Chain A
C-alpha cells in the first residue's frame, strides 16, 4: 500500500510538472527554440513566495504576482530571441540567448537570497514553506490549490484555443508559422501574448512548489530534467501529450521510485535521475512519445 504522504506528493508534483511541461512544449512549438531558461523562470517566483511568507502573509497571495513576474521575463526573452532570429541567428545562437536569461535569473535569485538572508536573518539558500500552509479536510491546501489551478488553466487554455479568435490565430501560427504570417495574422503579437501567458503559467506553478517541496536555487536545473523527460514522453511536439507526460514522470519519480525503494532503499535518493532514464528509453524506443502511440492507435482502427 502506498502511504498517503507519498501519494499526495505525487499528486502535487504532477500538477506542477504537467503545467510546466505543457508550457515548455508550447514555447517550443511556437518558436522551434527549446527555452533553456524555462525552469529557472518558473522557480524565480519561489522567492516571491518566500518573501510574502516571511512578511507573515499567506503564501498563496503570491500567485498573481508570480504570474506577472514569470510572464514579464518570458515576454522579454521572447523579444530578445525573436530579434536575434530575424537577424538570421542559428538555432545554436538562439539557444545561447535563452541561456543568457537563465544565467541572469539564476544569479538574480541568489543575490536576492543573500539580501533576504541579511534582512530576515535566515538562510535563504534552501527552504520549505510547508509550515505556512493551512489544511482543508485535514489535507494540505496546496493539494487543492495546485489541482484546481492546473485543471482550470488547462481548461481555460483549451477553450481559448477552440472558441476564441485569438485561439484560432494561435493554432494557425503553431501549425505553420510562415503560412500564418502570409495570411495576414499578426504573428509577432500572437506569439508575444502566448509567451507572456506561458511564462505566467510557469511562474504560477513555480510559486506553489516551495509550499510543499524543499527549495533551493538549483531546483531549476534539476527540474529541467523532469520537464524535458515529460516532454519527451509526451512526444516532443504535442501539448496534451506533454500534460500526460508530466503525470507519468511525476508518478514514476515519486510513486514508482518509492515502491522500488521498499526493496532497495538506496534508490530513493536518485528520484530525479529516474526521469532521465525514462527519457533516454523513450527517445530510443518510441521517439514520437505518447502522441505517436495515440496516433498509431487511431490510425490502426
Chain B
C-alpha cells in the first residue's frame, strides 16, 4: 500500500466515522436519546445500495433478464462496468438516486421507530434499538436476493468513468459529502435548535412546560439522524465496492462510535470530531500494519475489541466527560460569534 493510498484510506474512513459519531452526538450528546442501535440505518443504507443501483442500471441498459444481479453478480457487474465506464451521467444519476432513496427511507424509518422508542425508559430504548439492529443484520445475512446474504455482493462504482482514478473519485465524493454534513450539524447545533435539544436532554418536563413539543422534536431528531446515518451507509458501501451485511457489527458500527464520542467529549462536536480522528487513525494503522504484530499468538483483530474496552474503561473511570468537555458559551461570546452583533 502506497503512502497516498494509506492517507486516502484513513481520511475516507475518518469521514464515514465522523458522520456516524456526529449523528450519535446529535442524538445522545444533544437530545439525550440513548441509542445503541446506530447501525440500523447504516445497514438499511448498505442494503439499498446493494439492491437498487445495480438493478436500475440493468433495466436502463436492457441487460438480459435471465441474469440476476444477485445470483449472477460477477457477470452482471463486469457488464455494468463496461457500460458505466463510458456513461458518467448515468453513473452520477445512479449515485444521486441511491442517496435520495436511502435518505427518504431512513427518514421514514426513524420517524416510525420513534413510536415504540419514545414510550420506553432510556435503558430499554437502548436495548430495543440494539436488538432491532441485530435483527436487521440477521435478516440481511439470511436473505440472498437482498444483498448477497452471508457471502455479500459486489456493487457498482459510480466513478468507473474516471478509469484508474475511480477509487479516488469515490473518496473525494465521500470527503465532500462529509464536509457538507459536518457543516450542517455544526450549523444546527450552534443555532437555537442546539440549545432546544440540550434543554430536552436536561429536563423533558421543563422543556414541555416552556412550550416545546418534546416528543415531536425527539421524533424529528431520530428521523433526521437516521437519514444521515443511512447516507453514511451508502458512502461506506460505495467506498468498499461491496456489501457484506454480516460485517456491520455492533462492535464496529455502534460501540466504536460510542467510544469515539465519549473519549472526545459528549455534547461537544469539536471534541467528538477529535476523538473520532484519533481513534480512526489508531485503528487503521493497526489493521494496515497487521504484520507488525506477528509476535501475538492470535489474530490481531481480536486485540482491537480489548483495546477498545480498556480505553472505554479508562475514560469512564478517569474522565467520563471526555477530552473536550461540553461548554456553554458565555452570552458575550454568543452574541459576538453566533449572532455576529457587537454587544
A111-B302, A114-B299 known; A103 and B309 CB under 8 Å? yes
Q: How far is the CA of A220 from the CA of B82 in the complex (A)?
A: 44
One of B12-20, B130-138, B155-163, B225-233 at the interface? B130-138
Interface string of A207-249 (1 = CB under 8 A from B): 0000000000000011011001100100010000000000000
- The answer to whether B115 touches A104 (Cβ under 8 A) is no
Contact B119 A103 (CB under 8 A): no
A107 to B305 CA separation, bound complex (whole angstroms): 6
* Contact in complex: B126, A96 (CB < 8 Å): no
Query: If A34-B124, A95-B126, A287-B119 touch, does A103 touch B305 (CB 8 Å cutoff)?
Result: yes
Cβ A97 vs Cβ B126 within 8 A? no
Residues of B within 8 A of A106 (CB): 251, 305
Q: Which residue of B lies closest to A106 (CB)?
A: B305
- Please measure, in the bound complex, the distance between the C-alpha atom of A279 and the C-alpha atom of B117, giving whole angstroms: 12
Q: A114-B298, A224-B131, A269-B142 are in contact. Are A283 and B120 (CB under 8 A)?
A: yes
Q: What residues on B are CB-neighbors of A95 within 8 Å? A: 34, 36, 123, 126
Residues of chain A within 8 A (CB-CB) of B298 are: 110-111, 114-115
With an 8 A cutoff between CB atoms, is B178 at the interface?
no
Assess A225 versus B131: contact at CB under 8 Å? Given A103-B305, A103-B309, A270-B139. yes
> Which residues of A are found within 8 Å of B262, using beta-carbon distances?
96
Q: Which residues of A contact B138 (CB under 8 A)?
A: 222, 270, 272-273
Answer whether residue A4 sits at the interface, using C-beta atoms and an 8 A cutoff.
Answer: no
CB nearest to A114 among chain B residues? B298
Q: For the complex, is A168 an interface residue (Cβ under 8 Å from B)?
A: no
Given A115-B297, A269-B142: A225 touches B126 (CB 8 Å cut-off): no
The answer to whether the Cβ of A179 comes within 8 Å of any Cβ in the partner chain is: no
Q: Is the CB of B299 within 8 A of A103?
A: no
Instruction: Please measure, in the bound complex, the distance between the C-alpha atom of A145 and the C-alpha atom of B103, giving whole angstroms.
Output: 51
Is A273 a contact partner of B139 (Cβ separation < 8 A)? yes
**Considering the chains assembled together, what is the distance between the CA atoms of A36 and B299 in angstroms?**
25
A225 to B139, CA, bound (A): 13
Task: State whether the Cβ of B88 lies closer than 8 Å to any Cβ in chain A.
Answer: no
Select the stretch in A49-57, A86-94, A293-301 that faces chain B: A86-94
CB distance from A156 to the nearest CB of B (A): 28
Check A279–B128 contact: CB distance below 8 A. Answer: yes
Stretch at the interface among B63-71, B210-218, B313-321: B313-321
Least CB separation from B301: chain A residue:
A110
B205 at the interface (CB under 8 A from A): no
Could you tell me if B135 and A225 are in contact, using CB atoms closer than 8 angstroms?
yes
Check if B334 is an interface residue, CB within 8 A of chain A: no
Return B255 CB to nearest CB of chain A, in Å: 6
Q: Output the residue of B36, B297, B309 with the most chain A CB within 10 A.
A: B309
Smallest beta-carbon distance B330→chain A, Å: 26
Q: Give the CA-CA distance A279 to B135 in the complex, in Å.
A: 12
Given contacts A115-B297, A270-B138, A273-B139, contact A103 B131 (CB under 8 A): no
Q: How far is the CA of A172 from the CA of B10 in the complex (A)?
A: 54
Query: Of B34, B120, B132, B313, which is within 8 A of A97 by CB?
Result: B313
Knowing A111-B298, A222-B134, A283-B116, say if A103 contacts B124 (CB, 8 Å): no
B193 at the interface (CB under 8 A from A): no
Asked whether A104 and B306 contact (CB < 8 A) given A225-B131, A276-B132, A284-B116, the answer is: yes
Known: A89-B316, A280-B132. A107 touches B123 (CB 8 A): no
Contact B308 A221 (CB under 8 A): no
Picked from A32, A103, A115, the residue with its CB within 8 Å of the CB of B306 is A103
CA distance A229 to B122 in the complex (A): 17
Closest to B303 in A: A107
State in angstroms the CA–CA spacing of A232 and B127 once bound together: 11
Contacts of A269 in B (CB 8 A): 142-143
Alpha-carbon distance between A272 and B36 when the two chains are bound, in angstroms? 19
Given contacts A103-B251, A269-B142, A273-B138, contact A96 B316 (CB under 8 A): yes
Q: List the A side residues contacting B312 at CB < 8 Å.
A: 96-97, 99-100, 103
| Cβ of A33 under 8 Å from chain B | yes
Complex Cα distance, B255 from A104, in Å, reads 13
CA separation between A101 and B262, bound complex, in Å? 17
Evaluate contact between B299 and A228: CB separation under 8 angstroms.
no
Q: Which residue of A lies closest to B306 (CB)?
A: A107
Give the docked Cα–Cα distance between A100 and B313 (Å): 7
Most buried by A among B34, B119, B132, B313: B313
Interface-central residue, B122, B131, B304, B305, by most chain A CB under 10 Å: B131
Q: Is B224 an interface residue (CB 8 A)?
A: no
Q: Does A84 contact B (CB under 8 A)?
A: yes
Map CB proximity to A onto B281-323 as digits: 1 under 8 Å, 0 otherwise: 0000000000000000111001111101100110011001000
**Does B258 belong to the interface (CB within 8 Å)?**
yes
The residue from B36, B130, B297, B308 contacting A103, defined by CB atoms under 8 A apart: B308
Interface string of B81-102 (1 = CB under 8 A from A): 0000000000000000000000
A interface residue numbers (CB < 8 A to B)? 32-34, 36, 80, 84, 89, 91-93, 95-97, 99-101, 103-104, 106-108, 110-111, 114-115, 118, 221-222, 224-225, 228-229, 232, 236, 269-270, 272-273, 276, 279-280, 283-284, 287
Residues in B lying within 8 Å of A, measured CB to CB: 28, 34, 36, 115-116, 119-120, 122-124, 126-128, 130-132, 134-135, 138-139, 142-143, 249-251, 255, 258, 262, 297-299, 302-306, 308-309, 312-313, 316-317, 320
15 residue pairs bridging A and B, Cβ less than 8 Å apart? A33-B123, A89-B320, A97-B312, A101-B309, A103-B251, A106-B251, A107-B303, A110-B298, A222-B134, A224-B130, A229-B131, A276-B134, A279-B131, A283-B120, A284-B119
